[in-house]
Amino acid sequence: MKGKAIRSIAGVVFVLASVAGAALAAPKQSKSRFDVFAKAVTPFIAVGTPEGSNGNHAVDLTVALGNITGLPPELNGRRAEIAYEFPSKWFVQFPLEDFVATIACRGDTVWAHPGSRMQPFIDQLEAKAREKQRSNNSGGGFQLSKAQAVLVPALFDVNDAGLVKVADKPYRVVDVRPIPALRLTKDTGWPARLWVRPNDFSLAQLLLRTSDWSATAVLEKANFVPSLPPETWEPTAEQRADLAEMPASSITSLLNLAAATVRKPGAQPAPR
C-alpha cells in the first residue's frame, strides 16, 4: 500500500498547488457545467502566469482533510497549509501519521522541517533521479503563458452532478476527469469532484479519488494577493534548529516520498 498511497496528501497538495494561477478574461456568466468548472479553477491557474490573477501573483490556502478512505483515519480533520508566489516560491505544511511536515522552496534550495524526520526521505532520493531532475526541472518554478492557462480547463471532461445544499448553503457540484487523450488508464470513473459556490463560482471543496484511497479537501481559506511576506518562505527560529536542505529541483520527489508514509477510513467536514 505504501507505494500506492504516495499520491495521498501530495495528491491533494499537488492538485491545489498545480491548479495555481490566471489573469485571464473571466468566462461569460453562463451556468453550463464547463463554465462552472472554468470559473472555479481560473483564479488558481492564473497565479501561475506572468499576468497574475487580477493582478495577484500569490495564493495562500488552508485545507481541511476529511472523508478519508484508504489512509490513516487520524488524518480526518487535520489541516494542510499551502502558499505559492509566482514564479518559484512554495510553502507546504501537511500532517503525516505522527508529525507535521513543512517543506518550503526559496530560490534554488528546498528546506524541510523537522530535518531529523525528513532527512530519511531525502536520503531515499537516488543520485541518478536527482541528476535527471536537475537537467529537466527549473527548480521549484511553475509558469504558464496566458494562452496556455486559457486552455487548461479544456483539458478536462466535466459532468454536472447538480445543485446540493450543505448546512443550508447551496453548492454546484461537478465531476471532472482528464480528456481521453490525457488518461493514463482506461478507467472511466471521475477522479475529482468539485463543490462550487454558485454566487461567485469560488471553489469550496474538492474530492480526490483513486483505486486505493480518497480524500476530501475543504478550502477553509483561499486568499489571492499581490505577494506574500518574505518570512513566508523562511524557517522560524525554532525550525532552524532542525532543518534539512536539498536542491529545489527535487521538491516534487520529496513531497511524494513524504506522502508515501501515509496510508486508511473517516468522516467529512462540510463545505464552507
Tens digits of per-residue pLDDT, 186-215? 777 899 999 999 999 999 999 999 888 999
Q: Is 64 part of any domain?
A: yes
0.85 exceeded by the pTM?
no
Pick the closest to residue 251 from 14, 44, 5, 16 (CA basis).
14
HSE-CB at 214 with a 13 A cutoff on CA atoms is 15
Residue 92 Cα distances to 9, 47, 52, 79, 267, angstroms: 11, 17, 21, 11, 23
CA 211 to chain centroid:
19
Query: In terms of DSSP H, where are the helices of 53-188?
Result: 115-124, 127-136, 146-151
pLDDT band at 172 (very low <50, low <70, confident <90, very high): very high
Q: Is 233 part of any domain?
A: yes
CA 237 to chain centroid:
27
What does the pLDDT look like over 142-156, one tens digit per residue?
678 888 888 889 999
pLDDT the model gives residue 113: 95
* C-alpha to C-alpha distance for 53 and 225, rounded to whole angstroms: 9
* C-alpha to C-alpha distance for 11 and 1, rounded to whole angstroms: 15
C-beta separation of 191 from 177 below 8 A:
yes
* Most confident of the ranges 88-92, 113-117, 203-207: 203-207
Please give the share of the chain, as a percent, with pLDDT higher than 70.
Answer: 76
At residue 268, does pLDDT exceed 90?
no
Number of domain units in the chain: 1
State which residues form the domain around 226: 4-259
Q: Is 229 part of any domain?
A: yes
Q: Is 33 part of any domain?
A: yes
Cis ω before 87 (30° cut-off from 0): yes
Read off the amino acid at residue 30: S
The CATH number assigned to the domain holding 70 equals 2.50.20
Q: Is 264 part of any domain?
A: no
Q: Is 272 part of any domain?
A: no
Sign of CA pseudo-dihedral 255, 260, 262, 263: positive
Q: Which comes out higher in pLDDT, residue 184 or 192?
A: 192
Q: Is 265 part of any domain?
A: no
Q: Is 192 part of any domain?
A: yes
Pick the closest to residue 224 from 128, 117, 95, 83 (CA basis).
83
User: Any residues with CB less than 8 A from the CB of 126 and at least 6 apart, and which?
Assistant: none
